[in-house]
Amino acid sequence: MRLDIELFGATFQNPVLLSSGTCGFGRELADVLDLEVLGGFVTKSVTLEPRAGNPAPRVAEFGAGMLNSVGLANPGLEVVRREKLPWIRDNVRLPRVFVSVAGERVEEYQALVEGLNDADGFLGFELNLSCPNVSVVGGRPFALDPHAVRSVVEACRARTERPLLAKLAPNDPALESTVGIATDAGADGLTLVNTLPGVLLHGDGTPELGAGPGGMSGPALRPTGLLAVSRARRATRLPLVGVGGVSHFLDAVAYARAGASLVQVGTANFADPRAGARIVRDLGRWGTRRGVRSWSDLVAPAPGDHGVRPTTGTRTRMSERT
Ligand SMILES: Cc1cc2nc3c(=O)[nH]c(=O)nc-3n(C[C@H](O)[C@H](O)[C@H](O)COP(=O)(O)O)c2cc1C
């Protein structure tokens, strides 16, 4: 099966990327994983200034995934420009890299895109819209405020011609409308989903994480991510990137069937830093065994698109999980 796919004016050698916050800036994983086998990766979210992040513990496991409140710990724009992106430029050849940017004001997103746009080493930007917007009372996450989504995407669009992905939230009751707004505002693709808010408590009622609540990820998030991708697929013709609970190649196939052209692997990297490479390998073997011509054939088309429907085998049995 051909795994390569053309998107955003670039060729992805396969559809498997590592998600933001789970692979650092690539270098952190380079000793344990051959990055060159990946379709790509998304950097840790970058803010204008360096951030130390939240008090420990920042991650906690539970039966179906994990909860994190890292607090966007990152070295900030200047170090990313001076050190992280040059390393990627010099050491990463085939994988397509997106730089994730995050802020608490529209102007911060815009300044980040402007400040990184002319650097080498990456294809495009992913806008992490799950941060609270401190410019409005209540500080709702950008992704849950349609006006804020429009403002951020438009502001960044005006500053770059690079591919721009808007990363949306799993708990958006008006997802179709948000998807429409991000599309109209000029995004090139949508990433669904970021983590879902939650809390884990000890027996005495104290939170397990230093910051209290956090974002839930891992297998428990997969049904929510798949639903979000399916809903988005009906609301836009933009390419979609599916993320949430991908740890096995059949999870990637499920996201394709829901309409995702690319997938991202997050939490699974913590259990096995080679998860992304394993998924690429198993996906290729499985498709070839089943006579699937290409990954693109598996991707559910947008409404009105005459996408090529899968040529062989229809339903994927759970028993095929290995
Ligand atoms: C420890 C940790 C840190 C994360 N940091 C970021 C981040 O900086 N920016 C972002 O957009 N998403 C971040 N995420 C969310 C992931 O990129 C992904 O959207 C989410 O975990 C769901 O995918 P998964 O179930 O495969 O982990 C983080 C997730 C984890 C577990």
Task: Indicate the domain borders of the chain.
Answer: 5-320
Q: How many CA atoms lie within 13 A of 54 on its CB side?
A: 16
Dist. CA 215 → ligand 1 center (Å): 8
CATH topology of domain 5-320: TIM Barrel (3.20.20)
Cα separation, 231 vs 213, in Å, equals 27
pLDDT number for residue 316: 46
Cβ atoms of 162 and 119 closer than 8 Å: no
| Adjacent-strand bridge partners of 127 | 101, 166
Mutation probe of ligand 1 site: the residue of 194, 240, 255, 262 with most atoms within 8 A of C-beta: 194
**Around Cβ 11, how many Cβ atoms within 10 Å?**
12
Polymer length of the chain: 322
Quote the Cα angle for 31-126-96, to 5°.
Answer: 45
Helix or strand run (H / E) with residue 76: none
Q: Whose CA is nearest to atom 22 of ligand 1?
A: 244
Dist. CA 101 → ligand 1 center (Å): 13
pTM of the model: 0.95
Kindly give the confidence (pLDDT) of every residue in the chain, 322 residues in length, as a single tens digit, with 9 standing for 90 and above: 999 999 999 999 999 999 999 999 999 999 999 999 999 999 999 999 999 999 999 999 999 999 999 999 999 999 999 999 999 999 999 999 999 999 999 999 999 999 999 999 999 999 999 988 888 877 799 999 999 999 999 999 999 999 999 999 999 999 999 999 999 999 999 999 999 999 999 999 999 999 999 999 999 999 999 999 999 999 999 999 999 999 999 999 999 999 999 999 999 999 999 999 999 999 999 999 999 999 999 999 998 886 544 433 344 444 455 4
Cα separation, 17 vs 95, in Å, equals 8
pLDDT number for residue 318: 45
> Which residue in this structure is represented by tokens 């390998």?
281
**Around Cβ 321, how many Cβ atoms within 10 Å?**
11
pLDDT number for residue 137: 76
Residues with active-site annotation: 131
pLDDT number for residue 317: 46
pLDDT number for residue 311: 39
- Indicate the residue type of 291: G
Query: How is residue 266 written in tokens?
Result: 């997050």
Query: How is residue 219 written in tokens?
Result: 């297998």
Dist. CA 187 → ligand 1 center (Å): 20
- What residues are in contact with ligand 1 under a 6 Å CB criterion? 19-22, 44-45, 59, 66, 68, 70, 72, 100, 128, 167, 194-195, 217-218, 221, 243-246, 265-268
Residues 237, 133, 169, 299: is their CA dihedral positive or negative? positive
pLDDT number for residue 312: 39
**Around Cβ 148, how many Cβ atoms within 10 Å?**
20
Q: Whose CA is nearest to atom 19 of ligand 1?
A: 194
Dist. CA 212 → ligand 1 center (Å): 17
pLDDT number for residue 138: 77
